[in-house]
Structure 1
Amino acid sequence: MHSTASSLTDESVTDGVLEQSFTVGEVPGVLFSPADATSPRPLILLGHGGGQHKRAPGVLARAHRFVRELGAAAACVDVPGHGDRPDHPQFGPMAARNQQRVEQGEPRAQVIAQFQAVVAQQTVPEWTAVLDALQELPHVGAGPVGYWGLSLGCGLGVPFVAAEPRVRAAVLGCGSALAGAEQAARITVPVQFLAQWDDEFISREQSLALFEAFASTDKTLHANPGGHAAVPRHEIDSATAFFGRHLEPLATAS
Structure 2
Amino acid sequence: MRFTAETTSDGVVERDFTLGDVTGVLWAPASGPDHAPLVLMGHGGGLHKKTPGLAARARHLATTCGYTVAAIDAPGHGDRPRTAEDERARAELRQAMAAGDPIGPVSARYGASLAKQAVPEWRATLDALQDLPEIGADAPVAYGGGITLGTAIGIPLTAADPRITAAIFGGGFVVYDALLDAARRVTVPVLFMLQWDDEHVDRQAALGLFDAIGSKEKTMHANLGGHGGAPAFEDPAPFLTRHLGTAGAPA
TM-score (norm 2): 0.91
Residue matched to 2:109? 114
Residue matched to 1:240? 237
Contact (CA 8 Å) 1:186, 1:214: kept in 2 or not? yes
Residue matched to 2:169? 172
Residue matched to 1:250? 247
What value does the CA root-mean-square deviation take over the aligned residues? Answer: 1.9
Q: Deviations over 1:126-148 (max 9, x none)?
A: 11111110111112222111112
The AA in structure 2 aligned to 1:242 is: F
- Measured in 2, the distance between the counterparts of 1:145 and 1:242 equals 13
Alignment partner of 1:151 is 2:148: yes
TM superposition shift of 1:107: 2.9
- Measured in 1, the distance between the counterparts of 2:11 and 2:67 equals 12
Specify every segment of 5 or more residues in structure 2 that has no aligned partner in the other structure, as ranges: none
TM-score (norm 1): 0.90
Secondary structure class of the residue paired with 2:133: coil
- Identity of counterpart residues, as a percentage? 45
- Measured in 2, the distance between the counterparts of 1:243 and 1:32 equals 16
Residue matched to 1:79? 74
In structure 2, the CA distance between the partners of 1:85 and 1:251, relative to structure 1 (3 Å rule), is same
TM superposition shift of 1:45: 0.6
Secondary structure class of the residue paired with 1:183: helix
Contact (CA 8 Å) 2:180, 2:209: kept in 1 or not? yes
Residue matched to 2:220? 221
Contact (CA 8 Å) 1:19, 1:32: kept in 2 or not? yes
The 5 A counterparts of 1:29-108 are 29-37=24-32, 39-100=34-95, 107-108=102-103
- Measured in 2, the distance between the counterparts of 1:92 and 1:20 equals 29
Q: Aligned residues, how many?
A: 246
Contact (CA 8 Å) 1:102, 1:111: kept in 2 or not? no
Aligned counterpart in structure 1 of residue 127 of structure 2, from 119, 129, 132: 132
* Displaced runs of 4 or more, over 4 A: 98-106
